[in-house]
Amino acid sequence: MKPVFEYRDYRKYIRDFYESRKRCSAFTWREFAKLAGFSSSGFLKLVCDGKTRLSRVGVENVLPAMKLSGASAEYFRALVVFCDSSSAEKRQSAFERMMEIAKENRVEFLEAKSFAYFSSWANPALRELAPIMKGATPLEMGHALVPAISAADARESLELQESLGLLKKDECGNYHQTSEGVSSTREVVSATVVNMQMQYAHLAAEALERYTRDYRHISGMTMGLDRDAYECLAAELDAFRKKVAEIVSNVKSYDRVYRLNLQLFPLSKKVDENEKE
């Protein structure tokens, strides 16, 4: 089977380990659980089916059962946090640790560049800004963003986007957008997009003081909803987002980069004594 460094889902690794052992012997989930010191014979199958998860103690139990040690064990520990943590910050930190371990062991981490792209709000902003700043230096582009970023950060972002095929430089040194998208696994995108959305939320809050109403439109309303009304509003927001994309696609020449956030989220727990959260 593949080395653990090639996995982005620890459940898939456990299942592949089980299947590889089963092909060579009469290996069962019961035997696997016993080998890892679990009292429940079907526990690891439940983990693989996504019906439960490994605790920290469980991780340490399963490592020797799968003969993982050293860097492989360290990678697996980070992989569990990456897959199971509800904290965007912890997931991102775990993924960075996974990349670091893989690099130390000379394993190519294919998602590293796409992870880097989704790690900062400045990357998609520069992708929109660079094509309209003909002949500008990274310093000038970086300082044109609000808030400004350093010339080094701007240069790093531009080089990253060139390597991803998102931006292309012509013979005059000017940037042009391509039709390419950022290719990555769902797990990697989910680990980084939440962090980027948090960055945009902070920028939206700062925009209240940074810009006058002539340059920003921020409004909202507080309402009571049931599940059906929520799903109806969510569908309307999706339709609106598609309408915005249609409008933007017809813009032939632009002079500024904007960010639009669509936000609909709870401000209370459910008020229902029969439903526990």
pLDDT digits (tens, 9 = 90+) for 138-197: 999 999 999 999 999 999 999 999 999 999 999 999 999 998 777 666 666 666 788 888
Tokens encoding 241:
């987002």
Q: How far is CA 253 from the centre of its chain?
A: 31
pLDDT of residue 116: 87
How much is the pLDDT for 153?
A: 97
Q: Is residue 170 part of a domain?
A: no
Q: Given this model, what pLDDT does residue 274 score?
A: 53
Q: Given this model, what pLDDT does residue 109 score?
A: 84
Asked if the structure places residue 87 within a domain, the reply is yes
Domain that residue 24 falls in: 4-107
Is 80 exceeded by the pLDDT of residue 110? no
Task: Dig out the tokens for 152 from the structure.
Answer: 């080094």
pTM here is 0.76
Q: Of 16-25, 88-97, 226-235, give the lowest mean pLDDT range.
A: 88-97
| Sheet strands (E) in 105-172 | 167-169
- What would the 3-class secondary structure string for 183-199 be? CCCHHHHHHHHHHHHHH
Tell me if 237 is assigned to some domain: no
Domain count, the chain: 1
Residue 228 located in a structural domain: no
Kindly state whether residue 259 falls inside one of the protein's structural domains.
Answer: no
Q: Is residue 227 part of a domain?
A: no
Domain-embedded: residue 145: no
What's phi and psi for 83, nearest 5 deg?
A: -80, -35
Can you tell me the mean pLDDT for 223-236? 96
Model pLDDT, residue 239: 97
